[in-house]
Amino acid sequence: MKDVAKLSPHYQTSSLEAFHAIILRFAPKNVVFPFIGMLCRLYLAAMHYNENADRPQAKTQEGEPLFKIYIPKARKGECRAKPQPTFGYVADMMDLIFEEVFVNPTPYTAALLAIPVPEDLSAQYEKPDKEEVIASFVSRVKRGAV
């Protein structure tokens, strides 16, 4: 009970955890993306989060709050309700792409090419000879169980 008094509403991590959950929706960990693809997905996640964070609850014309019902797998059939997100940033991006980028893609291409792309992590290591790796595996397997 003494710890509860020390908790501060100004330093809660729930919004950070919500942002990380959105990142996982746009860029799941079990899929490998190239650097630029990952950067684009992180930008999309940030735009989605910024549009939907701290916005008022959407309502119907009658004033009833709008919710989406979903059944999470982890809850064994227990239904949950959550507010519906908005996707206004998608229309803004589509307008930008069709009205500016397709008309004159040169500045956007130049900005994309100016992004410094780091080398792959695997490039830091020397690639071993395939024959040596196979030979070491075969010799290890032939030794038998200990």
Q: What is the per-residue pLDDT across 94-136, written as a single tens digit (0 to 9) for each?
A: 999 999 999 999 999 999 999 999 998 888 888 889 998 888 8
> In the beta sheet, which residues pair with residue 112?
none
The helix/strand/coil state of 80 is strand
Asked whether residue 93 is assigned to any structural domain, the reply reads yes
Low-confidence ranges of the chain (pLDDT < 50): none
The boundaries of the domain holding residue 97 are 86-116
Asked whether residue 128 is assigned to any structural domain, the reply reads no
Domain boundary residue, one of 41, 65, 85: 85
Segment (H or E) for 70: strand 67-70
Asked whether residue 124 is assigned to any structural domain, the reply reads no
pLDDT of residue 21: 93
Asked whether residue 63 is assigned to any structural domain, the reply reads yes
The helix/strand/coil state of 139 is helix
- How many whole angstroms separate alpha carbon 20 and alpha carbon 45? 9
Which value, in Å, is the radius of gyration of the alpha carbons in the chain?
A: 25
Number of domains present in the structure of the chain? 3
pLDDT of residue 90: 93
The helix/strand/coil state of 104 is coil
> In the beta sheet, which residues pair with residue 59?
65
Asked whether residue 33 is assigned to any structural domain, the reply reads yes
100 and 78 inside one domain? no
- How many whole angstroms separate alpha carbon 52 and alpha carbon 44? 12
CB 68 within 8 A of CB 82: yes
Q: Vertex 39, ends 112 and 83: CA angle to 5°?
A: 130
30 and 20 inside one domain? yes
Nearest one of 97, 43, 90, 47 to 35, comparing CA atoms: 43
pLDDT of residue 142: 66
pLDDT of residue 94: 96
CA torsion angle 26 31 35 36 (round to 10): -50
pLDDT of residue 48: 95
pLDDT of residue 24: 96
CB 42 within 8 A of CB 26: yes
pLDDT of residue 15: 84
